[in-house]
Chain A
Amino acid sequence: MATRTNALRLIGIVLTAYALLVATHKGEFWPFSIYPMFSQAGNPWTRAVVREMPPDTKAASLDWSAVPFREVPGEPYPLSPKNINQNDVANYVSKTETWTADRVHGLRSLFTKNRSLSAPLYVFRVRGELTGDSVAVAATPVMLIAPDSTYLNPSPQARTAGRTVADPADEE
């Protein structure tokens, strides 16, 4: 009986710490969480996709405007075999409000830290939204990562998530 009381008291202490930490840290203080994943259903989402461009691609000759997702240029650049987490790339392109030198370096280093590039990589922000009973998906170029330099979308609005851009979209 005393053991059960002690055990319950310990649960109460951990529960109090749990509640205080998640309440003061936006619902997350690992391993404590309120588990908010998938709670914002139906809202537009933003992800990222990376395409490998021909080696002779010049940033100045690229069209930096948004395209329907199925029309993204270049070849697939699968991240998993390179041991790059796609969520990390998506976080850079969806949560960056200002592309400071640190942010640019951080995203570039995901692809270049301890490895070299043979061709430029074109990084797209992909946005999906519900339109009636289907999902519209559009991709906006954010950055071209060439072997020797990095180029941002010349439009400050287009390269930053959350800005309103007249994206053409695929219906999924």
Chain B
Amino acid sequence: MDVRKTYKLYAAGEFVRSESGRTYKPDGQNNVPRSSRKDLRDMVKAARGAFPGWSRRTAMNRGQVLYRVAEMLDGRRAEFRDLLGGGRAAGRQVDAAVETWVWYAGWTDKLHQFAGTVNPVAGPYFNFTLPEPTGVVGVVAPEEPALLGLVRRLAAALCGGNTVVALASERAPLAALTLGEVLATSDFPPGVVNVLSGKREELLPWLASHMDVNAIDAAGCTADQLGQVQEAAAGNLKRVVPPGPGAEALSPHAGLDLMEFKTVWHPIGV
């Protein structure tokens, strides 16, 4: 007889039930936390707290942590394949998820070289522009593919030094919640990544209007949801990255879309 797992949220480095005590059964079998507004807010607080430390880590160090995720995920391929329904398509999805972490692990210390500039201004000034993380990012994972859809957005956001609160696929949250266990063993400081499950309609308005969230990756939003998110985002001028045809491609722009650009002037003269 097997020991069954209680699926929990991954919040501030710990595994917790929803404070609301509610669950739902997306697959008709497993009870999954149906997170509340309070759960979401707690996670935003944790993500904000983790931001200074994570964003000031060296790019090299962030790369090592993202690569560690690939190592941890690789060791649990079989488990994830089964969670995603088994079969070759599920296997390919897990492989692609591992590859995505490796790919973005390589970008942490290259985004500056790719997108930074030195600007030859017409005067005795040294002038340069560099990308910096925008802050706390809300990631709305696509409903499908349940693992890879989330990983693509998560890895890109973390790569640049943001901290994340991620909404798992509503219909198939098990892979996302299990990914939390992988993230928990990959040397992220607590709070850098948080994963919650539940009903989009209950959670999205609060994520979109939260005044301490800086950007939303709306990859998993329907057209209606996107409009609502964009409107609510205006409250504190959140950057909203809409779902797009390029969302499935591995691209440094997926990371840079969630970054600010800072320009520095410094005089030159004896």
* A and B together in one complex: no
Binding site for A on B (CB under 8 A): none
Binding site for B on A (CB under 8 A): none
